[in-house]
Amino acid sequence: MKASVWLRVGGAVALAVYASGQVCAQTNLTAQITVHADRPGAVIHPEIYGQFAEQLGAGIYGGIWVGEHSSIPNIKGYRKDVVEALKAIKVPVVRWPGGCFADQYDWRDGIGPRDKRPVHMNASWGGDDGNQFGTHEFMDFAELIGAKTYISINVGTGTPRQMSQWIEYITADGHSSLAQQRRANGRDKPWKLDYVGIGNEMWGCGGSMRPAFYADVYRQYATFVHAPANLPITRVASGANGDDVHWTDTLMAAAGSQIDAISLHNYTIPTGDWTHKGSATQFGEDQWMSTLRGALRMDDLIARHVAAMDKYDPTKRIALDVDEWGIWTDPQPGANTPALYQQNSLRDAVSAAVTLDIFQAHADRVRMANIAQMVNVLQAMILTDQSRMLLTPTYYVFDLYKVFQGATSLPIDVHAPLYRYGKVAIPGVHATAGRDAAGGVHVALVNLDPHHADTVHVRLLGMHAAKVTGRMLTGSAVNAINTFDHPHAVQPVGFDGATLKDGVITATLVPKSVTVLDIR
């Protein structure tokens, strides 16, 4: 006898098909998807495709900044290859300088002539930081790649005065001493500072605070964020660690009126054990499953924090910004491996795609997200080795999904078989949809099952489709990677396997793949 089980997944619904209690053993499974183009939802803020670049390991030094005199081709000190790659995926916003680094950072150490800047120990991540990449280098970098700016303020060891002077230095247009100092240091016009984070992980490395205490500290700092009238700054409160909804609830109750956004940090640890996180490349199907299951958990996490926010802010004025997320594995083995350096496989790509789907399903509340991190750190877009650079599978998901930036989200129902490993089952297909400003509809389809292809039938309601094209990313194995010697092993290819008949699109998704359809 057949039975059906319905699950809610990332704002979509998945159907598990059982036969005598077992998942149907098929080599080619079938899924039904309905896209409600007739019921447009919230705008997908481009900033959910944001990045995080912390001053640690080779994230900044070597990864972005090599200095003007480097033999590595550069634009005023920024790696040319990295700048071009980041521009190509339209990075909408960059968060800097941390992370934990931010709460020990003194912005005055990072301005003025570079050869006069002090060298400090990086107490959070090891090594020294010579402050060669400071405020000017960050703000100019963001301008160069066309991204908005998000600065994490030092609350842990700093003061409201240091914060307000930093903001004045960056944004003042008049003749104040700080504006003049900025001009003397080479920048005439003020920069646009888009977001300030009032501390980072205040429950942990930011000062081990309890939520009620931090709520008051937040109120104090937020009072002194003086933005120029024409250049507003979004104030982001340091939010919860994973499922700590009590943190969100306390902040909303005590400081909600002064908060523009609350952050959320959540990392996916393949083994679930922070002391032994698992390898980025040497893993089997058990950790493929546990990692994707961890990524899917983001939906429930967001839903729970949103429920707490809804109590105080039913009109959704305040955003939930997931400003650190991604897979965190053990660092790559090796004596000289920079801090938090890990490889990036097809598993990272599929996990990122599922997470981005979930953000889009919550587009009415999630208005920024920053993957950790941009270059050479954790789940990076880009890896570098001296003059060489490679684009990771995660980069290519951001490339495939850039069509969703600024699109209108479209509700989507997914009825798909479960993918099962041992006693664990998750939806075999995950999806998201959006309509861009030109009227084109984009549907992303992720096949999480590493063994079975899935033939999907996509029905579009409220749209007459005339043409469908696509791009697809997969790899030879779940742990397929790009290396400096073989940098193109995992990269997108054109997808011409979709057919259109009577308004229904049929496409076969190969196992462990991400496909994005473009429908006109």
Q: Which stretch binds ligand AHR (CB under 6 A): 7-15, 69-77, 290-298, 370-378?
A: 370-378
Whether omega for the bond prior to residue 51 falls within 30 degrees of 0, making it cis, is no
Only one residue has tokens 């995950």, namely 430
The Cα 33–Cα 175 span in angstroms is 59
Q: How far is the CB of 326 from ligand AHR (least distance, A)?
A: 8
In the complex, the smallest distance separating the C-beta of residue 509 from ligand AHR, rounded to whole angstroms, is: 32
The smaller minimum CB distance to ligand AHR, of residues 57 and 428, is found at 57
Q: Which is nearer to ligand AHR, 200 or 290 (CB)?
A: 200
User: Could you say which of 54, 168, 201, 285 is catalytic?
Assistant: 201
Residue linked to tokens 């992980």: 201
DSSP string, 90-122: T--EEEES-SGGGGG--GGGGSS-GGG---EE-
Question: Is position 324 an interface residue for ligand AHR (rule: CB under 6 A)?
Answer: yes
Query: Phi, psi at residue 397, to the nearest 5°?
Result: -70, -40
Q: Is 99 in the site for ligand AHR (CB under 6 A)?
A: yes
User: Which of 54, 260, 321, 413 forms a contact with ligand AHR (CB under 6 A)?
Assistant: 54
**Contact region for ligand AHR (CB under 6 A) — 171-179, 372-380, 402-410, 436-444?**
372-380
- Nearer to ligand AHR by Cβ, of 105 and 359: the residue is 105
CA distances for 87 relative to 147, 321, 451, 503, angstroms: 9, 22, 35, 36
Applying CB under 6 A, does 348 fall inside the site for ligand AHR? no
Looking at beta carbons only, is 95 or 192 nearer to ligand AHR?
95
Which alpha helices (DSSP H) does 313-445 contain, by range?
Answer: 346-361, 393-401
Span from 36-44, 92-100, 207-215, 357-365 in contact with ligand AHR (CB under 6 A): 92-100
* 201 flagged as catalytic: yes
Burial class (CB in 10 A: 0-12, 13-18, 19+), 445: buried
Q: Which of 47, 54, 168, 324 is catalytic?
A: 324
- Is the bond into 334 cis (omega within 30 degrees of 0)? no
200 or 329: CB nearest ligand AHR = 200
Minimum distance, C-beta of residue 100 to ligand AHR, in the bound complex (Å)? 4
Strand pairing partners for 507? 456
If binding is defined by CB under 6 A, does position 59 make contact with ligand AHR?
A: no
Q: Give me the least distance between CB of 250 and ligand AHR, in Å please.
A: 20
In angstroms, give the least distance from the CB of 301 to ligand AHR. 16
285 noted as active-site residue: no
Q: Are 376 and 58 in contact (CB under 8 A)?
A: yes
Question: What residue number has its CB nearest to ligand AHR?
Answer: 99
- Measured from the CB atom, is 17 or 378 closer to ligand AHR? 378
- Answer for which of 23, 29, 100, 403 binds ligand AHR (CB under 6 A) is 100
Q: Which residues pair with 195 in a beta bridge?
A: 150, 234
Minimum distance from CB of 309 to ligand AHR (Å)?
Answer: 21
If we measure between CA atoms, which residue out of 376, 381, 386 comes closest to residue 340?
376
Q: Give how many residues touch ligand AHR by CB under 6 A.
A: 10
Which of the ranges 14-22, 97-105, 454-462, 498-506 carries the binding residues for ligand AHR, by CB under 6 A?
Answer: 97-105
Shortest CB 265 distance to ligand AHR, Å: 6
Smallest distance from ligand AHR to CB 28, Å = 40
* 372 touching ligand AHR, by CB under 6 A: yes
Q: Give the nearest distance from C-beta 204 to ligand AHR in angstroms.
A: 7
Which strands make up the sheet holding 28-36, listed edge to edge?
A: 412-415, 28-36, 453-461, 504-509, 499-501
Task: Select 201 or 244, whichever has its Cβ closest to ligand AHR.
Answer: 201
Residue choice 122, 131, 200, 370 for contact with ligand AHR (CB under 6 A): 200
Hey, which residues between 201 and 230 contact ligand AHR (CB under 6 A)?
A: 201
| Single-letter residue type at 364 | D
Stretch that binds ligand AHR, among 82-90, 94-102, 140-148, 182-190 (CB under 6 A): 94-102
Determine the interface stretch with ligand AHR among 93-101, 223-231, 464-472, 496-504 (rule: CB under 6 A): 93-101
Q: Taking CB under 6 A as the rule, does residue 57 contact ligand AHR?
A: no
Q: Which of 369, 303, 383 is nearest to 340 (CA)?
A: 383
**CB neighbour list of residue 268: distance below 8 Å, 6 or more residues apart:** 291, 294, 295, 297, 325, 326, 327, 328, 351
Residue 98 in contact with ligand AHR, rule: CB under 6 A: yes
Instruction: State yes or no: cis peptide before 97, omega within 30 of 0.
Output: yes
State the Cα–Cα distance between residues 104 and 372, nearest whole angstrom: 19
Cα dihedral 170, 321, 202, 324 sign: negative
Nearer to ligand AHR, 342 or 408 (CB): 342
Of 211 and 450, CB closest to ligand AHR: 211
Within 328-449, strands assigned E span: 368-372, 382-385, 388-391, 408-409, 412-415, 418-421, 424-427, 429-435, 441-447
CB of 19 to ligand AHR, least distance (A): 44
Interacting residues with ligand AHR between 475 and 514 (CB under 6 A): none
280: tokens are 């980025």
Burial of 28 (0-12, 13-18, 19+ CB in 10 A): exposed
Catalytic residues: 201, 324
Query: Which residues contact ligand AHR by CB under 6 A?
Result: 54, 98-100, 200-201, 324, 372-373, 378
